[in-house]
Amino acid sequence: LSPDCSFTCHYRCRALVRLDCSGPPGASDEDDGDEQVLEKDTNVDEPSEWEKTELDQTQVEQRIKEYNSQINSNLFMSLNKDGSYTGFIKVQLKLVRPVSVPATKRGPALQAGRPHTQGVKRRTSFYLPKGTVKHLHILSHTRASEVIDALLRKFTVVDNPRKFALFERSEKDEQVYLRKLGDDEQPLRLRLLAGPSEKVLSFVLKENETGEVNWDAFTLPELHNFLRILQREEEEHVRRLRHRYARCRQKMQEAL
């Protein structure tokens, strides 16, 4: 168990792990505090104003024309003959935990006389750079879960897609709102209804903090490791809170 990033693994696998425990670049206590102040999570069961809107074929065609007239790039939307449409969405990846990618090392054959080599499966964990964005070309009926799968494939991430969730981000009255999209929601449809403005609507990939974990599927050693990780995360969170309030208290005392 790493003391810096709480990564845990089997002791025999420790030599195979290449993990940067310095944390995501640019991360600081101040950033975490600002993020909590600016963003407000809303419930996935509460549909957005765009999700409630229904469009017929004529309205879809008109919306696409309006959308294409408002963008300053070549990321246009196109209407297909079957009534569907294609276009681009931009997704910002705001992951606070490291992701795993595959790494294969070729080792020599175990016995003489065997010319082939044996592949040893390994994983490398690292933090994605802060502010990483990706454009995806998708269909109008592409679901949010399929967007997550496509993003993970783009970055060759081998973690379970259920660990991640796609969020709808909007700004209103100097407040940032986040809403987790359901698996069957269609991001390109939301993009069309909201228009091209990133302030009105943007997409963010984050860790899926649902709490809906089947703990019975884990072994006792794994559960004990999870408890240790949770304890370390709790201690770190308390340390940051105490540091922030102590700093605020010091500034008040200096002002007095």
Residues 196-213 pLDDT 10s = 999 999 999 998 875 556
pLDDT number for residue 211: 59
Domain-embedded: residue 192? yes
Q: How confident is the model at residue 55 (pLDDT cuts 50, 70, 90)?
A: confident
Domain boundary pick from 193, 212, 231: 212
What does the pLDDT read at residue 43? 46
Is 168 found in the same domain as 72? yes
Q: What pLDDT, in 10s, does the model give residues 9-21?
A: 665 566 656 555 5
**Average pLDDT for 32-55:** 54
Query: 3-class SS at 51?
Result: coil
Q: Which of 183, 92, 104, 163 is nearest to 133 (CA)?
A: 92
Q: Considering the domain boundaries, does residue 228 fall inside one?
A: yes
Name residues whose C-beta falls within 8 Å of residue 175's C-beta, 6 or more positions apart in sequence: 38, 40
Same domain, 177 and 241: no
- Positive or negative, the CA dihedral 62, 66, 67, 69 is positive
Q: Please give the pLDDT value at position 22.
A: 52
Radius of gyration in angstroms for the set of CA atoms belonging to the chain, rounded to a whole number: 23
Q: Is residue 22 part of a domain?
A: no
Domain count, the chain: 2
Shared domain for 183 and 238, answered yes or no, is no
Which of 129, 143, 251, 248 is CA-nearest to residue 190? 143
**Helix (H), strand (E) at residue 226:** helix 220-255
Token pair for 243: 């540091």
DSSP 130: T
Tell me: do 71 and 93 sit in the same domain.
Answer: yes
Say yes or no: 62 and 79 in one domain: yes
For residue 76, being part of any structural domain is answered with: yes
- Provide the domain limits for residue 228: 217-255
Task: Give the β-pairing of 85-93 and 202-207.
Answer: parallel
Whole-structure pTM value: 0.60
Do 47 and 173 sit in the same domain of this protein? yes
Query: In terms of domains, do 158 and 245 share one?
Result: no
Residues 51 and 154 grouped into a single domain: yes
Q: Cα–Cα–Cα angle for 24, 30, 34, nearest 5°? A: 100
